[in-house]
Chains A and B, each alone.
Chain A
């Protein structure tokens, strides 16, 4: 499922320009959308799921403009919005059944079987008859995921899905998405939690203040950070100095001081060892260091 985003702009009535000339292209598999809060991720998501019109530019799915082919897009879409806390007085299974029915599952028996399968998959089968508004926060997110998955969608859009989840649930969620991405499904995962963009993401984009600052594979993003992540053993005095001048991304207390990881082009004053960066290092390097350097240039 090829998705092309061309020259996408979104300006809200209050003048806030949420998206600026976004051009993106990705296909089947998981695509990560990373960026800090307010970067424009949700606006982009809402445009993709046809909840909102762009101010200009188009989104093509399999070459078709989604604004002109909303019906087709919606029939292959599963969406989990960022804010998915409030429910009406429906029971857990009823909510899934409602979503499934609207997703085109007309056969009641099949639908109910699918409802139970999904509930089982997200670990909610035991609470299928509980009112959805009485579920815990994590359960509600899981129910949100289940409803996004019902009806075998070919495009799944998940906006900040792991916010508020405990580590176990986050892992569980990532696993579900990983499994799904093995199928012929396009998953767009928007998050500000770098860890959510796992190695399973075939592609990713980095948004900042409405602009696309990076588009590529996660490895490419990591490559940018190679040689720029250092590990140091510091005394408390040194630690304060480092904090002042470098981006500290990890601090572990050890005997006689701190083991600190920093992102920087070089750390000449201190005894540092370069380490292999991960995606999180790369994100920090990119957002805090490279972009800053680009601006200065």
Chain B
């Protein structure tokens, strides 16, 4: 057939020509070299073998083609545009144009030629990958994925790039402009468009999640197909449009007609695919809005408490049919004339009965409003049966998240993974309570108060019918009755989860807890990789569990702990109303398939083993293989299930999110519940405090704002009450920080009134006694009052509704070595005052031990042992006084409004530093580390020692004749001007301006004056300074003060220098015991300092004098700039950015009248 013959001919010779072009040759050689190294580096036994990729074998072709596709999509622009340029210029091609072939044949030939060449290169690189795949002992070979990804990623991208390049060249006929447009589009895709509007503009599949699961394959096939077909069709359409625009007289009307027809068909196909892609994205957003709208409609209504639920579920492919027999109680203090239940909106209720009688009901999206035809009195019980069927709508699960891939990234290396909340397929099912796959009284989301949560401890029974080849898993004991799996949990649960798949299991019983690992057939790789610890496993597990129980001061409440392997796409968003994520369910942890996306398993067990073994051999360390496997196992388990930190970047800021697999919730959230109709966040507050969740520490804070979660929360609480903030619906990270601060305050308040140890013992027993029960906070208050004679409930009014914060000033601690009997003790006294109008509390801890105390020796009298890690910026001590134990605190001090106290405390060990956590207060940072510099020897116990002594009158902080203007004061002018480049304005890119507080980066400072927090800086409550990039003096800050009395004044500037663990001002970089140190602030070190000359201009009666202060030689604290005569209103000091150093720092200025 002439058509095919001509296309083939053009394709062959165009490909030959392209193959011989230097540009393509260079690209091919570079690609071959890079990808060979990449494959060796990632996948070969001598390479890094990241477990995230190794575990899922399809990631090998994916990584290769993902990266190659990006490079190709750019290279193809040059080559395609060059082709047409050549056609346009060179008469040689006219000899071809006069040949008997249609324009269609010619353009198609060219397209196929280029496509063939690039795909050929892709295939060669895939073959290199395949070789690695074969060599790798730890990867299976998934040959089909090689083909899938070639078709999914490369073909549409190349075709679209070609089509667009051809088309633009045909229209514009200017290669440079075509390049600019196409490269701009490529850049726009990679930096801006890739995640927007459901990835509809992501033509190179840069962000499109195409990661496959070994359990369910592509979970988003429809999304992938639509998005990729969009570019396949659009590319084809553009190629055909090029046929029509081609500058050669056409010869075959049929071909022209075919081109027109197919161009329209392909374009229509592209439109359909674009519509599907966008509508899928839009419908998710609409769905979320609908959930919020429905929530608003029903959130003020009362709900029953579910006590028993008997659920029958039949798994029918992509659908389920179910009926739920629900028994409940009206725990409200008024009659209920209707029952509200939430159910996933993908499920449709077919009927509601009670005692065999049909009840009227109305399903409004996710809420079922049931009319029982009678009223249910407070305390009365009732039951209904709800029959329903359908599928699961996942958009419902987290209505406050937009599914924005950039904000909540979930990736294996550089590859985006689709985030799923449920699976309902023929071969696999996973339904967690978050999907509301069974009716639950209460709402998924309370729009006016997202921190509100309703928890019912319910006795569940679950019966599951599924394919006979599949195994159903849920909580409790399991029986298989005639093909029906029946689950009966031993204790009431907050929710029930169902997983169905081709599961296998291993069981280990340790200390009366059954540990069951449920894995998909063939996925039990860990048994081989950790084969030596099988006989030690019970001991290891027992030890870990004991540690956990000690940490949470309570026993693990369930009889089983199931570790269930689920598809990698399963992902839960952090919730506002709990620290618990859906990966953790009562007596269950849902782990990603083959543990592939765990941060704690960046390298496989076998790789860790090999690496550590090699390192040890290098260091002449001897360890048995078994010991090494034990160590690896322990590290893995502890960092996966116990670690409380989970940092993530969102728009350049570090966000601390609840850890996905942390077992913490098992010790509170799944076991206890305190509720209050007046303060619906109370359970979240209790949970936040008791979970002991840490805030970002040294490493993470270096690259963020340097503020702990507590500080951020206190800065927000400065402007609004707890209630007001909740109504504003803040970001989940913010709300968690606020819940934690409020929880810490509340519990420390109780402890301050009833005693730290006493409260701990009582409360520990109390929550064990009320296991699997919901306790009204008023009852808790009564019980507390009965035991200790203290009621905390009245405090909640202010705690919840007022925004006023206390503020604390602390004097230098005085430490006297005293002799008590034969023993040397240390008496620490210091003055603390609260000049604000509301009372407040703070807690105290001490770092004790000899010089250099820290990691290397000494004793850290606080729970957060990380304090000694050094090397970073601020180290948060925000855990101080948090958790059930609160064993890290020595004393809690309550100070009334406008009150000052002298605090005394006797220690057994020599204190090195006083650690204060001001909890809820104006103090920023709220955690102060005050070093103890002098210890006086008294040799006798002071007879005047009192633990707390109120000072009347309150000591004045201000000294007469002294005027201080801090950078937080009104007299300070930060002098920042916002200049926005026109291009940035055009693209709506915001100019970088000073915002809040930022940690100082030693290697990059902004060109504006940015505020920063450090405990070494000066301030009343907020210890801050401003800093900028060293420059030429074109930018300045000013401190001005009103002088009432003319005369001579000494003028001082404040230089904030960090005080390290054992060395104060001017000392060495923080020793390991240092509470602070590192790059977070100006610490003198052997390295070249970022801080050098600082140029102050002092305005006085005789003019202006410029004084240069050498930062390195300056004292930490007030440094005198000179003595000047000042008239009223003339006091002004400027600091410019002129400096040879990288950073200029400005803090406070002091004028002291000379008598």
Q: List A residues at the B interface (Cβ < 8 Å).
A: 49-53, 67, 70-71, 74-75, 77, 79-90, 94, 98-99, 101-104, 106, 144, 147-148
Contact = CB atoms under 8 A, between A and B. Distances in A.
Contact of A71 (B96, B97, B251): B251
B100 A75 contact: yes
A82 B13 contact: no
Contact of B249 (A51, A90, A102, A148): A51
B2 interface: yes
A148 B92 CA distance: 12
Nearest to A77: B98
B99 A74 contact: yes
Given A51-B249, A81-B94, A101 B5 contact: yes
Contacts of B100: 71, 74-75, 77, 102-104
A49 B252 contact: no
A99 B5 contact: no
B98 A50 contact: yes
B21 interface: yes
Interface in B919-972: none
**A-B pairs with lowest CB-CB distance, top 5:** A89-B20, A75-B100, A102-B99, A74-B100, A70-B251
Contacts of A50: 98, 249, 251
Nearest to A49: B98
Contacts of B9: 98, 101-102
A84 B2 contact: no
B101 A102 contact: yes
A54 to B, nearest CB: 11
Contacts of A51: 94, 97-98, 248-249
Contacts of A98: 9, 13, 96
Contact of B90 (A80, A86, A102, A104): A86
Contacts of A77: 98-100
A144 B95 contact: yes
Interface in B1-23: 2, 5-6, 9-10, 13, 16-17, 20-21
A81 B13 contact: no
Contacts, number: 84
Contact of B91 (A75, A84, A147, A148): A84
A103 B13 contact: no
23 contacts: A49-B94, A50-B98, A50-B249, A52-B249, A53-B249, A67-B249, A70-B251, A75-B100, A79-B94, A79-B98, A80-B95, A81-B92, A84-B91, A84-B92, A85-B91, A89-B17, A98-B9, A99-B95, A101-B5, A102-B96, A103-B100, A104-B100, A144-B95
A213 to B, nearest CB: 27
B86 interface: yes
Contact of B99 (A81, A89, A99): A99
Given A74-B251, A89-B20, A90-B16, A148 B95 contact: yes
Given A77-B100, A84-B92, 17 more contacts: A49-B94, A52-B249, A77-B99, A81-B92, A81-B94, A81-B95, A84-B95, A88-B86, A89-B20, A90-B17, A94-B13, A99-B96, A101-B9, A102-B6, A102-B101, A103-B100, A104-B100
Contact of B5 (A53, A84, A106): A106
A70 B252 CA distance: 8
A70 B6 contact: no
Nearest to B10: A102
Nearest to B14: A88
B249 A83 contact: no
Nearest to B2: A104
Q: Considering residues A53, A83, A88, A90, which has the most beta carbons from chain B within 10 angstroms of its beta carbon? A: A88
A81 B251 contact: no
A74 B94 CA distance: 12
Interface in B250-295: 250-252
Contacts of B251: 50, 70-71, 74
Contact of A83 (B91, B97, B250): B91
Nearest to A157: B98
A70 B95 contact: no
A81 B96 CA distance: 11
Interface residues of B, number: 29
Contacts of A52: 249
Interface in B231-256: 248-252
Given A102-B101, A103-B99, A70 B91 contact: no
B1091 to A, nearest CB: 60
A108 to B, nearest CB: 11
Contact of B13 (A49, A67, A90): A90
A250 to B, nearest CB: 34
Nearest to B101: A102
Contacts of A84: 91-92, 95
A161 B162 CA distance: 36
B92 A87 contact: yes
Contacts of A71: 100, 102, 251-252
A104 B97 CA distance: 14
Contacts of B248: 51
A65 B102 CA distance: 18
Interface string B78-114: 0000000010011110111111111000000000000
A99 B252 CA distance: 19
Nearest to B21: A89
A87 B251 CA distance: 25
Contacts of B5: 101, 106
Q: Considering residues A83, A86, A98, A147, which has the most beta carbons from chain B within 10 angstroms of its beta carbon? A: A98
Contacts of A102: 6, 9-10, 96, 99-101
A88 B100 CA distance: 20
A53 B13 CA distance: 28
A103 B6 CA distance: 9
Contacts of A67: 249
A104 B101 CA distance: 9
A101 B11 CA distance: 12
Contacts of B101: 74, 102
Contacts of A75: 100
B99 to A, nearest CB: 4
A79 B93 CA distance: 11
A147 B99 CA distance: 11
Contact of A86 (B6, B13, B92): B92
A50 B101 CA distance: 12
A104 B16 CA distance: 20
Contacts of A144: 95
A75 B102 CA distance: 11
B91 A82 contact: yes
A90 to B, nearest CB: 6
Q: Considering residues B9, B90, B92, B97, which has the most beta carbons from chain A within 10 angstroms of its beta carbon? A: B92
A79 B92 CA distance: 10
Given A89-B21, A104-B2, A74 B98 contact: yes
B113 to A, nearest CB: 12
Contacts of B16: 89-90, 94
A87 B248 CA distance: 19
A101 B106 CA distance: 13
Contacts of B98: 49-51, 74, 77, 79
Contacts of A86: 89-92
Contacts of A94: 13, 16
Nearest to B86: A88
Nearest to A140: B92
Interface string B512-544: 000000000000000000000000000000000
Q: Considering residues B16, B89, B98, B251, which has the most beta carbons from chain A within 10 angstroms of its beta carbon? A: B98
A80 B92 CA distance: 9
Interface in B1117-1138: none
A191 to B, nearest CB: 17
Nearest to B6: A102
B11 to A, nearest CB: 11
Contacts of A90: 13, 16-17
A45 B20 CA distance: 33
Contacts of A74: 98-101, 251
A244 B1114 CA distance: 99
